[in-house]
Amino acid sequence: MSGINYTDKIPNNVNLSNDRALQRALEHWQPNYLNWWQEMGPEGAQSFDVYLRTAVSVQPDGWAHFDHVKMPDYRWGIFLAPQDGERKIHFGENKGRDAWQEAPGEHRANLRRIIVTQGDTEPASVEQQRHLGLTAPSQYDLRNLFQVNVEEGRHLWAMVYLLHRYFGRDGREEADALLQRNSGDQDSPRILGAFNEKTPDWLAFFMFTYFTDRDGKFQLCALAESGFDPLARTTKFMLTEEAHHMFVGESGVSRILQRTADVMNELGTENPESVRAAGVIDLQTIQRYLNFHYSVTIDLFGADQSSNAAIFYSAGLKGRYEEGKRTDDHVLKHDTYKVLEVADGRLREVEVPMLNALNEVLRDDFIKDSMAGVGRWNKVLEKKGIAFRLQLPHKAFNRRIGSLAGIRVAPDGTVVTEEQWRAHEHDWLPSAEDREFVASLMGRVVEPGKFANWIAPPVIGINRQPVNFEYIRFN
Ligand SMILES: [Fe+2]
Ligand SMILES: [Fe+2]
């Protein structure tokens, strides 16, 4: 079960060759995917040999294989974590019943919607990142970008397999549509807001992989609990890839902080203008990027009160983060949860039925997890003797979704007027000028072991290779 068949046109561990109709349908989708990759994937990089990891099995050590490959030749395929024959649904009203091996009729539309929404984010991020290769600060970073890109491509494959295999003609149509929507497209945008934003520079990329890929982690964790077993098994394997994406983000920001702190110490200055003049990114700009990416990412969890979230949970389609480790009744009919609302010009907490607040529950779990990494970033500053500390803004800051949309809240949680917002917006969110400055630092560094001025090298290379290893052969 865990061995991956690489002799089939589509690598897989799902015995694809035993289902000829499905195999044909996916082989029909495959060239459309490759066309999409050529058009919307990494710009100008299709002929590079990139030192990529490829899954050889779905066991924990299955990631052992690294080699130089051209990205269009990457072995995208279908890998599900092994089936646990005994698996039961362990939350909601169907708790205790056998997990579903086929999509139950009454939940089909909701399951399809969940899978399409997840699937849509995967190619979206590749599209958002497609120009970044032109300005990579090093070969090491370029390789990491491409690794993230090919894996997001594989995550799309994972969702497309589910659509083809379990949702018949509707599923095939949805799979086609996943290649037709594009990030930021006026007429046919991606489904979720954050996936239509630009990722124009490498600071944005690292913030995106830290925050937005972490949203991916939490969504996938919730889906890995699903009573629909194929979805649970697929997302479980996707999670092994997501960890690397968040590593890229966390270590990327960390290396920027190191470099900025070193320059601040060399110059003996805290003045952002002087820091910028030395060709590194000032801490204030890093904070504003953080505020932006954090706030658009927490919107991805959806409205704070949602009857859909209640339905998905009660039906057993989507669980909570670490559902199995929680000690409540896993039905939640009698539980409540605190969400924010605005009353008399201030934020206050109100208790609502927990089932309706499950988006908020997941968002709060995400926030806790995000905080840990920010603490590690601050350790970098602390070690270098810099007093500045990065902070997550208040969760009501800059929200577009839910009951907090439409009000103005400062990063410290104070509700402000529209005038106050406008007066401070550029202290809180990146201005056009901030983005121009960061863009002005971006320039491609291609020599092995060399790094752009604004970022420190990593401590170790990928797969225990030296930092100056030739991760990319440009050809
Ligand atoms: Fe993904
Ligand atoms: Fe990811």
pLDDT, one tens digit per residue, over 249-272 is: 999 999 999 999 999 999 999 999
Average pLDDT for 106-131 = 98
> 421-430: per-residue pLDDT in tens?
999 999 999 9
Tell me phi and psi for residue 218, to 5 degrees: -70, -40
- Report residue 63's pLDDT band, with 50, 70 and 90 as the boundaries: low
3-state SS, residue 137: coil
Q: Is the pLDDT of residue 87 over 60?
A: yes
**Residue 68 maps to a domain:** yes
The answer as to whether 6 is a domain residue is: no
Residue 6 CB coordination number (10 Å): 12
Among 256, 259, 323, which Cα is nearest to 289's? 256
SS3 assignment, position 168:
helix
Question: Are 209 and 249 in contact, with CB atoms under 8 Å apart?
Answer: yes
CATH of the domain at 141: 1.10.620.20
- Average pLDDT, stretch 145-150? 98
Q: Which ligand is nearest to the CA of 209?
A: 2
In the predicted structure, residue 2 carries a pLDDT above the cut 80? no
Distance 132 CA to ligand 1 centre (A): 18
Q: Of 444, 392, 432, 454, which Cα lies nearest the Cα of 145?
A: 444
The string of pLDDT tens digits covering residues 347-374 is 999 999 999 999 999 999 999 999 999 9
Per the structure, how many domains does the chain have? Answer: 1
Give me the numbers of helices (H) and strands (E) for the chain, helices first please.
Answer: 13, 7
Is 4 within the bounds of a domain?
no
Which pTM value belongs to this model? 0.96
Ligand that comes closest to the CA of residue 238: 1
In degrees, rounded to 5, the angle at the alpha carbon of residue 399 between the alpha carbons of residues 398 and 405 is 120
The Å distance, Cα 239 to ligand 2 centre, comes to 9
State the distance from the centre of ligand 2 to the C-alpha of 242, rounded, in angstroms: 5
Cα 144 to middle of ligand 2, angstroms = 12
pLDDT band at 3 (very low <50, low <70, confident <90, very high): low
Question: Do the domain assignments include residue 159?
Answer: yes
* Chain centroid, CA 77 distance in Å: 20
The stretch 208-227 carries a mean pLDDT of 98
Whether residue 337 contacts residue 357, with contact meaning beta carbons closer than 8 Å, is answered with yes
Of the chain, the percentage scoring pLDDT greater than 70 comes to 99
Q: What is the mean pLDDT of residues 307-315?
A: 98
Q: Residue 105 has what pLDDT?
A: 97
CB count, 10 Å around CB of 180? 10
Confidence at 1, pLDDT banded by 50, 70, 90:
very low
- pLDDT, position 436: 98
Q: Taking ligand 1, which is a single-atom ion, which protein residues have CB atoms under 5 Å away?
A: 122, 152, 155, 216
Confidence of residue 60 (pLDDT cuts 50, 70, 90): low
Q: Say what the pLDDT of residue 106 is.
A: 97
Its domain, for residue 359, covers 16-473
Q: Is the pLDDT of residue 91 over 50?
A: yes
pLDDT at residue 196 is higher than 90:
yes
Task: Point out the ligand nearest to the CA of residue 152.
Answer: 1
Amino acid 447: pLDDT: 97
Q: Is the pLDDT of residue 33 over 70?
A: yes
CA–CA separation, 345 and 389 (whole Å)? 29
Q: Tell me whether residue 9 is in a domain.
A: no
C-alpha 456, offset from chain centre? 24
- Ion ligand 2: protein residues whose beta carbon lies under 5 Å: 213, 216, 242, 245
Is residue 414 over pLDDT 60? yes
pLDDT at position 177, please? 98
Helices 358-383 and 307-315 meet at what angle, rounded to 10? Answer: 100
User: Does 11 fall in a domain?
Assistant: no
Is 145 within 8 Å of 205 (Cβ atoms)?
A: yes
pLDDT reported for residue 398: 97
In a domain, 5, yes or no: no
Q: What digits encode the pLDDT tens for the residues 283-302? A: 999 999 999 999 999 999 99
For residue 120, report the distance from its CA to the centre of ligand 2, in Å: 12
**How many A from CA of 341 to the centre of ligand 1?**
32
CA of 330 to the centre of ligand 1 (A): 27
Assign 242 a pLDDT band (cuts: 50, 70, 90). very high
Query: 108: CA distance to ligand 2 center in Å?
Result: 26
Is there a domain that residue 245 lies in? yes
Mean pLDDT, to the nearest integer, of 390-419? 96
Angstrom distance (rounded) from CA 253 to CA 377? 8
> What are the angstrom distances between the C-alpha of 34 and each of 71, 157, 238, 402?
10, 11, 20, 37
| Cα–Cα distance, 3 to 136 (Å, whole number) | 35
* C-alpha 123 to ligand 1 mean position (Å): 8
What's the gap in Å between 58 CA and the centre of ligand 2?
17
